[in-house]
Structure 1
């Protein structure tokens, strides 16, 4: 099978895998020197401390909350990873797996937007809402490429 049979879908799932993996790592590595380089990232401990103070939640819960969020993001990255492998191998079911991963991503971002509204962070709300839009476009692109691939296969079957 041709590895580049569905390049747009492969690029999309690889992008979202990297996005979620790096975002998960950023939850625990931000602003740390990790040997060969310094991970700058977003200083979420500072932000979440402010959020928790607004909500009258003990700031001792900030780091465990960030670790939990990072684990959720890592869990969302995995279906994108497996979809990328299936796409690269030309196996069936890659689009369905990508759709599920996009759906999980949408749920996570909806949760993030609810949190943004509760803590009053409009900049984060705008950012997370933008990601929801990009995920919807990603879904449409994967769906369109899958549909066009299906039409191409039908045309070849009629020829043969």
Structure 2
């Protein structure tokens, strides 16, 4: 296979999986075995609520529209990949251009949304993806075939492939073992530590989601009937940044007043 075809195939595989998995992330937003999804609906609810649009219909329509565009992107890249395997260069380029143009349009919409909702970090990320799409098109379309050579199956290439497969297998086994040891965090409640009188700290691991958060608070209230939860405070970003995969949660409580104390107050 020539270098030009290798570059084209790599670009097509990357973007096909990129948009395919992005669609899966919209369909499966929860945490499952070997899959950690993101709750985009809750995120969109938060974004639109910040604009004063608290009706869930706005978030639903926006998320549905984005999902449709992402499915369209995936289909275009998949068709381009299929044309590549059929050695139909003209049709492959045609579908790839449509895919890139649709992707650029979607990232442009994302960037506008980032500015409206005030998410500057995502604005930078989506802007970089927009530029990467241009680079992908240039690399796909304008790599000079006359300057490329056919990669032969030499001993060095075969050795590199074998080493790559061994490293991949070792990494896969390691990831599998790590996942089997940590996946219990998906539904295991977190034990709190009283750091100050009436203030409890909960250190949530990476896989813990909103269900774990609710379960933890409910179990804490059941285990401490003598306490009243006044409010819950998320640890500041400066503290959370020290543990990139953790979240700190502080629960402020007070003692439940006895019946006699309540009667004295009423008197």
What corresponds to 2:87 in structure 1?
90
Comparing 109-118 with 4-13, greater Cα deviation is found at 4-13
Partner Cα separation in structure 1 for residue 142 and residue 70 of structure 2: 26
Partner Cα separation in structure 2 for residue 123 and residue 86 of structure 1: 36
What corresponds to 1:24 in structure 2?
23
Shift in Å at residue 136 of structure 1? Answer: 1.1
Partner Cα separation in structure 1 for residue 42 and residue 114 of structure 2: 15
Shift in Å at residue 4 of structure 1? Answer: 7.9
Shift in Å at residue 131 of structure 1? Answer: 0.5
Shift in Å at residue 137 of structure 1? Answer: 0.9
Matches within 5 A, 1:31-50: 31-33=30-32, 37=33, 39-50=35-46
Partner Cα separation in structure 2 for residue 63 and residue 139 of structure 1: 32
Partner Cα separation in structure 2 for residue 142 and residue 32 of structure 1: 36
3-state SS of the aligned residue for 1:42?
coil
Partner Cα separation in structure 1 for residue 97 and residue 11 of structure 2: 11
Q: Which runs of 5+ in 2 are unaligned?
A: 148-267
Shift in Å at residue 38 of structure 1? Answer: 5.4
For the pair shown, which has the larger CA radius of gyration, 1 or 2? 2
What corresponds to 1:9 in structure 2?
8
Shift in Å at residue 121 of structure 1? Answer: 0.5
How many residues are aligned here? 145
**Residue 140, structure 1, aligned to residue 138, structure 2:** yes
Partner Cα separation in structure 2 for residue 4 and residue 17 of structure 1: 20
Tell me: CA distance 1:80–1:44, structure 2 relative to 1, closer, same or farther (3 Å).
same
Comparing 98-107 with 54-63, greater Cα deviation is found at 54-63
Shift in Å at residue 118 of structure 1? Answer: 0.4
Q: Which runs of 5+ in 1 are unaligned?
A: 153-160
**Residue 111, structure 1, aligned to residue 72, structure 2:** no
3-state SS of the aligned residue for 1:90?
coil
Root mean square deviation of aligned Cα: 2.1
Bigger share in helix = 1
Tell me: CA distance 1:46–1:89, structure 2 relative to 1, closer, same or farther (3 Å).
same
Tell me: CA distance 1:39–1:64, structure 2 relative to 1, closer, same or farther (3 Å).
farther
Shift in Å at residue 39 of structure 1? Answer: 3.1
Shift in Å at residue 46 of structure 1? Answer: 2.6
Name the TM-score, length of structure 2 as normaliser: 0.50
Tell me: CA distance 1:16–1:31, structure 2 relative to 1, closer, same or farther (3 Å).
same
What corresponds to 1:70 in structure 2?
67
